[in-house]
Amino acid sequence: MTDMMESVVPRIIFVQADGSQSEVEVSRGHQSVMEFALESGIGGIDADCGGSAVCGTCHCFVNDPHMFGAIEPNEEAMLGLRPDRENNSRLSCQLSLSDVSADTTITLPEFQM
Amino acid sequence: MNAPTHPFASDLTLPLTEIDVADPKRFELDCWQPLFSRLRKESPVHYQTVGDLGPFWSISRFDDIVEIEKNAEVFSSEPSIAIIDPLPELDIKNFIAMDEPSHSLQRKAFQPVVAPKNLTEFESLIRSRTRAALESLPENTPFNWVELVSRNLTTQMLATLFDFPWEERQKLSMWSDAAVSDERITGKADLTLEERQLMAVDIFESFSKLWQERLDDGVESFDLIRLMQKDPNTKDLINDPVMFIGNLLLLIVGGNDTTRNSMTGGVIFFNENPSELEKVRNDTSLIPSMVSEVIRFQTPLPHMRRTVTRDFEFKGHRMKEGDKVVLWYCSANRDDDVIKNPDSFVIDRESPRNHASFGFGIHRCMGNRLAEMQLRVLWEECLDLFESIEVQAEPTRLSNNFVRGYSELEVVVKRN
């Protein structure tokens, strides 16, 4: 039973704007989804500011918004400037990898600015 | 006795309280680095009472600037984002010097034109114009790179974005220069107040004409004027001349002075660091990273200013309501707590985009991807066309604490 529990590692399915997909198993660690994506070689994220929620260039769309912590005012302010803002928009630098409790899909936008 | 070699040789010895951090001459002589290095170490949150523009706070560390820009409620962008306040006789307003919610409402109207998706449409046009400008340069004869390349290309770009009458496009760069030539930031009386007022009238008249011509003409276009007319938040902007002129000037300066000087800076940096040029010649996939490094190393706008909205303690310093806080981006870009080996020009550094030149937070540069694209295209074409671009003499730099730039750079180019 224990063995089975440990073997269930959630995956993030990253979907690029052109529809191409990459599935990555979530490794343990206290990273943000942005850092994890960059380390995993996922394209479509610029992350100019390196994770301070002050540039807006790690924008993504999450399929399971409830899985992650609430949007803080700083993140909201930066998302508010995106011309392609949607209800499920997030800055991936503000998403904690440890919140990924089950397989989930994250879609990258057409561009970062 | 050894006499000081230049007027700022005492920057490392005078008490900091006696130094005017904002002296525009320091940028003209390009000797600002030692003072800011000292400020970062000794007084990163520094209050100055001396000088014509004091009193104000100077923030010199990267992380402190990020923290302040995150807190737009306490650190307001009104009434000005430069050290100086607007003159009552020339009080134009624009969205970069506005707080929420008005700022975002107006900014959003302009943002689509510089979104990368839209830029892709522009790229081939920019490339062919860049190519044509470079091909027309004299070979083996000295010329001013600022005039024939940097200024020429950024003016063309602006005319394209506004769909401005092509034959009158020089007006755009003339207005841009005038907008940042307030003698309080240049230390020189280039233009009188009256001349600058007349120019504001000229801007209003020129753009009003274009506005009227395009109103409801049914043409589908992404030019900035039609975008303003389409967006509910800016469609009546023409009825508010102060805001209309202000936003136009913001877009003109933002799209002109900044990239123009990075276009010149890159040539200088490569002449000073030939091995970096070799790297990019051998591997052109490094061009985007090189572009970010040029923008960092140049820091076309050395500062932005905020104003404290209520008494506030920052890093143990008590700031008072109304205090001016100057964020020195030029210093943040040389902060070795964040940027490794910051005084070196390294085109393949780790995280090249992590620089302060575009600012941070809600007022972060809107045209950053356009600027990067223009510079990328310029260097792709330069590397393809030229064997060398040799600097012939020290550049002439602007005496200006708001724009770090050049008026002249004499070069000789050799074709491949």
Residue B193 lies in a domain: yes
Residue B1 lies in a domain: no
Mean pLDDT calculated for residue range B283-300: 98
Task: Please say if the pLDDT value at position B197 is more than 80.
Answer: yes
Q: Band of the pLDDT at B3, cuts 50, 70, 90? A: low
Domain ranges of chain A: 28-107
Range of the domain at B54: 9-415
Q: Band of the pLDDT at B143, cuts 50, 70, 90? A: very high
| Nearest-CB residue to A81 (from B69, B104, B358) | B104
B327: left (phi over 0), alpha (psi -120 to 50) or beta: beta
CB contact set of B201 (below 8 Å; sequence gap of 6+): none
C-alpha angle with apex B295: B292 to B297, nearest 5 degrees? 105
Residue B2 lies in a domain: no
Number of domains in chain B: 1
Residue B123 lies in a domain: yes
Mean pLDDT of all residues belonging to chain B: 92
B108 to A81: CB separation less than 8 angstroms, yes or no: yes
Mean pLDDT calculated for residue range B400-413: 96
| CA distance to B279, B286, B294, B369, per residue, from B289 (Å) | 12, 5, 9, 13
Query: Which of residues 39 through 98 in chain A touch B, CB cutoff 8 A?
Result: 46-50, 52-57, 74, 77-78, 80-81, 83-84
Task: Please say if the pLDDT value at position A4 is more than 80.
Answer: no
Supply the CATH number for residue B166's domain.
1.10.630.10
Nearest CA among A107, A113, A110 for reference residue A13? A107
% of chain B at pLDDT higher than 70: 99
Pick among A34, A54, A108 to test the B interface (most B CBs inside 10 A):
A54
B256-276 residue pLDDT tens: 889 999 999 999 999 999 999
Question: What would you report as the CA-atom Rg of chain A, rounded to the nearest whole angstrom?
Answer: 14
Q: Band of the pLDDT at B111, cuts 50, 70, 90? A: confident
Q: Where are the alpha helices (DSSP H) in B233-312?
A: 241-254, 257-272, 274-282, 287-298
Which residues is A105 bridged to in the sheet? A13
What's the confidence (pLDDT) of residue B57? Answer: 98
Q: Which residues in chain B are contacts of A56 at CB distance < 8 A?
A: 364
Interface predicted TM-score of the whole assembly (ipTM), two decimals: 0.90
More reliable by pLDDT, B158 or A71: A71
Spatial separation of the C-alpha atoms in residues B25 and B90, rounded to whole Å: 25
Among positive and negative, which fits the CA dihedral A75, A77, A82, A87? positive
B356-381 residue pLDDT tens: 999 999 999 999 999 999 999 999 99
Question: Which uninterrupted H or E stretch holds B65?
Answer: helix B62-70
Residue B133 lies in a domain: yes
What does residue A63 show for φ and ψ, rounded to 5 degrees? -80, -25
Task: Please say if the pLDDT value at position B122 is more than 90.
Answer: no
Shortest distance between the Cα of A24 and any Cα of chain B, in A, equals: 23
| Burial class of residue B386 (count of CB atoms within 10 Å of its CB; 0-12, 13-18, 19+) | middle
Task: Please say if the pLDDT value at position B194 is more than 90.
Answer: no
What's the confidence (pLDDT) of residue B116? Answer: 86
Task: Please say if the pLDDT value at position A2 is more than 50.
Answer: no
Mean pLDDT of all residues belonging to chain A: 92
Given CATH 3.10.20.30, say whether it is the number of domain A28-107: yes
What does residue B339 show for φ and ψ, rounded to 5 degrees? -115, 120
Task: Please say if the pLDDT value at position B74 is more than 70.
Answer: yes
What's the confidence (pLDDT) of residue B139? Answer: 93
Mean pLDDT calculated for residue range B320-324: 98
Contact assessment for residue B334 and residue B325, using Cβ atoms and an 8 Å cutoff:
no
Mean pLDDT calculated for residue range A58-71: 97
Contact assessment for residue B364 and residue B355, using Cβ atoms and an 8 Å cutoff:
no
Question: Which residue in chain B has the smallest CA separation from A75?
Answer: B361
Residue B4 lies in a domain: no
Q: Band of the pLDDT at A1, cuts 50, 70, 90? A: very low
